[in-house]
Amino acid sequence: METSMAIRDRFSKKLNCPQCGNSGFAEASEIDDPKRKHPDFKVDQLPRGFGVQRPSNHQESFMLKCECGRKFPFRSLAEAAAERR
């Protein structure tokens, strides 16, 4: 019997703090399998000045904290940054 490892989807997102303007790129990954209940979302690297406020298996509820004290979900600001082309 052969077991297959789940493939991790790796991506970069630009983060911008709406309060102080701190910005940078975060490196993140999650398991690329729509049948999984939890995508095992992880932030592998954060830019200087950002930290993890509350980890989560999902981008939508993974909370970041800027050094200025502003807290925000990873996905909310990352998506807003991606839409500006």
Summarised one tens digit per residue, pLDDT across range 25-70 is 999 999 988 888 889 999 999 999 999 999 999 988 999 999 999 9
In the chain the beta strands, taken as DSSP E runs, fall at 8-16, 23-31, 42-45, 50-54, 63-66, 71-73
Residue 30 lies inside a defined structural domain of this protein: yes
* Domain span at 26: 7-79
Residue 1 belongs to some domain of the structure: no
Of 38, 33, 41, 48, the closest CA to residue 62 belongs to 41
Q: Does a structural domain hold residue 71?
A: yes
pTM above 0.85, yes or no: no
Total count of domains within the chain? 1
Q: Where are the alpha helices (DSSP H) in 20-83?
A: 74-83
Question: Is the residue at 46 inside a domain?
Answer: yes
Residue 2 within a domain: no
Residue 12 domain-assigned? yes
Write down the pLDDT at residue 4: 54
Contact 74, 53 (CB under 8 A): no
In contact, 13 and 25? CB cutoff 8 Å: yes
